[in-house]
């Protein structure tokens, strides 16, 4: 895997994180947080989907690596929602 392919994977994961943040309606931290959420979502989302036996409807081939887009977005969305629940300030 070349440096360009790794950079493309990171950018696609960042876009998946941004989409996950947009869908959740929670935005804190800007682009760096979107990239981190996307990377973590891209790591955990496809593994959870595979463990539950869910098919992947959209796979983006980047070099020799298949990137599961939908489960990465769902993984980022779930991660963003969990972070939102844990860091939400409550008003009494």
- Give the tens place of pLDDT for each residue, 44-92: 888 888 899 988 888 888 888 888 888 888 888 888 888 888 877 766 5
pTM over 0.85: no
Q: Which regions of 1-92 does DSSP assign to beta strands (E)? A: 59-62, 65-68
Q: For the chain, give every domain's residue range.
A: 3-87
- Give the tens place of pLDDT for each residue, 22-35: 887 776 677 787 77
């Amino acid at each position: 895997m070349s440096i360009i392919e790794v950079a493309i994977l990171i950018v696609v994961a960042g876009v998946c994180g941004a989409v996950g943040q947009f869908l959740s309606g929670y935005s804190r931290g800007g682009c760096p947080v979107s990239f981190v959420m996307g990377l973590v979502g891209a790591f955990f989302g496809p593994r959870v989907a595979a463990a539950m036996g869910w098919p992947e409807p959209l796979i983006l081939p980047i070099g020799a690596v298949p990137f599961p887009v939908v489960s990465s977005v769902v993984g980022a969305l779930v991660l963003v929602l969990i972070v939102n629940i844990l860091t939400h300030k409550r008003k009494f």
